[in-house]
Structure 1
Amino acid sequence: MNFYSALKDMARTVLYRSGVLGAWHRRRNKQALTVLMFHRVLPAGSDALAQSEREFAFSVEGFGRTLDFVARHYSVIDLAQVKAAIDGQGELPDCPLLITFDDGWRDTVEFAMPELKKRGLPALLFLATEVLDLEQPRWWQDAAVAVLANPQTAPKLLQALGMPADASTQPGYTQRVAAKLAGMPEAQRRQVIQQADPQVLQRIDARQMVNVDDLSQWTDNGFELGGHGHSHSPIAYATDPRAEVLDCRSHLRALGLEDLSLSYPHGVKNDASRELLKEAGFEVLFDSNPCLANVANLPRQRFDVPRIHLPENAWTTRNGRIDPARLALYLFPRAVI
């Protein structure tokens, strides 16, 4: 760390420990809803964490430290409170925050849930509902991400999908790859992935995604459930967007959900996908716009509630551990819309 970096780090720490940042946050964000987006939570040093897409994975210890920070500076609420505020049937507390998870990773139940329970914090899981129907241990999306991260195998996958070799230079190409794979039957999807890397699906032999029993544990412990599409294709790019929405809805209904919410898969949305979801009865939709929501604007934002992806990386850690001062400056100054 050079002199200027060390000076910035010292200033950040002093501002946080003195209470200045916290006091500023309490005034500035009193009527701003923060929605956090998590994906995976895994033990430090585990093979699963080492093999994960690290941008979207937390260590258990880092997740716990983040929850302690959240409990210190926010009023943690649930989806029911957000919906009541949107419908004009309730008010949110000062500095409200909603904790959400995407996809339906089994480690959300195995490792994140105990940390939430330990602190008495609510949370919401947005489920890509097709994972309940899949039997293979490794989720195809995780395998595809691994293939695309390897310069030797990525071109092979693009070729198998009929995409040009320079597709990887185009914005959003990974979402286009996901949509093409998601539109295939599962057997064909896995065959295409294995054409690019014959071993990638076999490198993980323990089931990654939740099953119905896992979801029962989640909901029996008082945690909430929403949708994240069906196949995890971006709805806007899906081969059949209507089927993607209706399949997600039917699975959520089968799980007993009456009030439907959803986070856009891959954060991709357009007017057509929003209208499809509204017509299907989804009442609150969350996107990936990394901002805070002005509580007064929530009724107008019910189909575009912003969420902030929170990583465990250089933005939020110091000396390899989650740092409250860095978390504060990552979250507190976000634009309020």
Structure 2
Amino acid sequence: MIRRSSRGGTAALWSGLSLCAVTLTGLVASTSPEPATQEVAAPENVSAATMTNEPYCPPGTEPVSEAERRVADPDAGPSDSAEVTPEQAAEYQDRLRRAMDRVRDHEAAAPYTVPVVMHVISASDGSGEISDARIDDQVDVLNRAYRGEYAQGSEGTDTEFRFELADVTRTENDTWFRDFGEQRDEIRAELRQGGPETLNIYTADLGSGLLGFSTFPQDYADDPDQDGVAIAHDTLPGGDREKFNEGHTGTHEVGHWLGLFHTFQNGCESPGDYVDDTPYEREAASGCPEGRDTCPEREGEDPVTNFMNYSDDACMTHFTKGQADRMAEHWAAFREGAPQA
């Protein structure tokens, strides 16, 4: 049985942006580096929290236990646990570079106001229901995170992205709720609203160990109906997911939706996550291992408190200026002014 309802938000859906004064003029993507030689077996276009091989531990460090997974998942099944390969990451980077060549002289201004549509999928017994208050709290977490309000001292930056709730849909469907991974193509094709600038977030039971997954901006043009973010319903603020119930699964997955890789992309091998000011990291962090350094020959300790890692929610505090620039590039290249579905 399917029951649906929709809550009108405080903002209407739109294809434009709320624009202020700071422009992206002169922001140019770097040329695509050579793919790293590190071999990582992976299903196509999937990025997960931990590597499946034994973790590398520099002298004096302990192995890190496997984290619950937040993945970037354009095509493969969300139950898969593997990394985006260096070759796949390089292809995404090359597509960004080519797209930025086309929009280099286009002035896109910040802040970027993103309309958000929340799709709450629940079961007939009430599992998965999320109150309007918790939805508002999730949007608030996104705004605080992307403004840099969780950052400590000077570690973070205001990315200039803002989020405004546009609509909430509610669907009661036992199959969709409990088997979202198998049904997701149908679900997203039926429920998705807006164009490339609209952030569609789906909540459901994603299964044990999986916190969320997202598409990349580069994939919108080929499959607009599937664009969006899925997060486990119990990861929203006030949920029951121990260590992961402060809303930062949403923060993390929206980072993928805006073009960011994990901080541990490519491990210790160049070009890492394609962001100059995030230190190299061999593998995902679990818990909050402050002072960890899995790439001792590279400058800086592991970015365990970065939102694009897999640390506990309470440990995650910031994006960097380089990540903010990269998200702005992806917005200009693939979301602002992209064709409507």
Given the two structures, how large is their TM-score scaled by the length of structure 1?
0.26
Of structures 1 and 2, the larger Rg is shown by: 1
Between structures 1 and 2, the one with greater helix share? 1
